[in-house]
């Protein structure tokens, strides 16, 4: 599955794990506790990956200035806002976003499992978030050591998907867009 997009492999994993989860006896407390343990272990591994990435970001502390034009919020008639930051601050912001997303996923899963008594999603949510954490741009740069060029060049491109088509586009870092935003006075204060 090396040549397939992450969305396609996620779909294949979800469909496969749905078939597997139908055959698992979740009414057996030992099996249920094992699946719960797998889910908890998966989230601990994700947290450790994010902590490792954070330590790498802080160790490198790349203070190179990064300028880009942030797209306006969906449905807004405003122009994009110029953002001037550093690579270090940008990476920390991206990591916080990823960690916040993971925490929201755990909260939703806790609600679904503990309150609504759904058990099948535990198995799927043990695999997909871990796969996503390892496929993230920061993991590619800091864990796997890939150079920050092409798709890994900051600002990161949003993954193409259903919701990205509805938004107003990607962050623009080309010189023409940045200069136009600077001339228009849509800038902000440099984040430290």
CA distances in angstroms from 113 to 10, 17, 55, 105, 122, listed in the order given = 21, 17, 33, 12, 8
For 22-43, the pLDDT digits (tens) are: 898 988 999 999 999 999 999 9
Give residue 4's pLDDT.
75
Give residue 171's pLDDT.
67
* CA distance linking residue 69 with residue 79, whole number of Å: 9
For 89-123, the pLDDT digits (tens) are: 999 999 999 999 999 999 999 999 888 888 888 88
* CA distance linking residue 47 with residue 40, whole number of Å: 11
Better-predicted residue by pLDDT, 187 or 122: 122
Tell me if 148 sits within 8 A of 141, measured CB to CB. yes
Q: What's the token pair of residue 142? A: 């800091």
For 127-172, the pLDDT digits (tens) are: 999 999 999 999 999 999 999 888 888 888 876 555 554 555 666 6
3-state secondary structure 74-123: CCCCCCCEEEEEEHHHHHHHHHHHHHHHHHHHHHHHHHHHHHCCCCHHHH
Tell me if 70 sits within 8 A of 81, measured CB to CB. yes
φ, ψ for residue 141 (rounded to 5)? -80, -50
The DSSP bridge partners found for residue 85 are: 66
Average of pLDDT values for 51-73? 90
Q: What's the token pair of residue 165? A: 């088509």
């Amino acid at each position: 599955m090396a040549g397939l997009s992450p969305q396609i492999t996620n779909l294949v994993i979800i469909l496969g794990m749905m078939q597997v989860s139908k055959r698992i006896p979740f009414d057996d407390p030992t099996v249920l506790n094992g699946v719960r343990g797998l889910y908890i272990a998966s989230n601990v591994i994700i947290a450790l990956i994010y902590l490792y990435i954070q330590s790498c970001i802080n160790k490198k502390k790349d203070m190179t200035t990064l300028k880009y034009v942030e797209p306006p919020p969906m449905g807004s008639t405003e122009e994009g806002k110029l953002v001037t930051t550093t690579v270090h601050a940008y990476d920390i912001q991206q990591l916080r976003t990823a960690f916040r997303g993971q925490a929201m996923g755990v909260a939703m899963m806790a609600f679904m499992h503990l309150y609504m008594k759904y058990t099948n999603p535990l198995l799927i949510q043990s695999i997909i978030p871990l796969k996503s954490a390892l496929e993230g741009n920061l993991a590619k740069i800091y864990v796997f050591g890939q150079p920050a060029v092409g798709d890994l060049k900051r600002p990161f491109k949003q993954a193409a998907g259903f919701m990205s088509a509805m938004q107003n586009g990607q962050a623009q870092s080309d010189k023409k867009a940045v200069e136009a935003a600077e001339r228009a006075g849509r800038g902000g204060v440099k984040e430290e």
